Amino acid sequence: MKGRLASDHTPYVTIEMLGAGVGREFVVDTGFSGSLYLPEDKIADWNLLFITSAPIVLANQSIVIADVFEATVVWFSIEHRVPVIAGPSGCDSLLGMELLEGCRIDLDRVVGEVRIDQL
């Protein structure tokens, strides 16, 4: 899987989300332990299935209660049902370590490319 490295060095990959009708670009966030984090307006647009509300520990160690939804994504050509944590409208869409389990990530600053390979 290939993505792009933005001029500010932020790594992005596009993942196909079934039911959304589009590929969605996500920031690769190795500090996020979940699968996906999406803005609540996109979750509503795509009518994702609500699962539960759960406490989430943020990077600053504060705890918030977040809504958790379910989405089906295509990850290395295989459909996976994954939890999606809802964030405020307009926030970045994040891809976290739960999906990256068993993968190698290469950030090539020379050509501005992100490569994710399954091991």
pLDDT at residue 20 greater than cutoff 90: no
> How far is Cα 8 from Cα 46, in angstroms, rounded to an integer?
29
CATH numbers and ranges of domains, the chain:
2-118 (2.40.70.10)
pLDDT tens digits for range 53-112: 999 988 889 999 999 999 999 999 999 999 999 999 999 999 999 999 999 999 999 999
DSSP 18-73: ETTTEEEEEEE-TT--SSEEEEHHHHHHTTPEEEEEEEEE-TTS-EEEEEEEEEEE
Q: How many other CB atoms are found less than 10 A from the CB of residue 76?
A: 12
**Letter for the amino acid at 113?**
E
Mean pLDDT of 12-39: 91
> How far is Cα 114 from Cα 116, in angstroms, rounded to an integer?
7
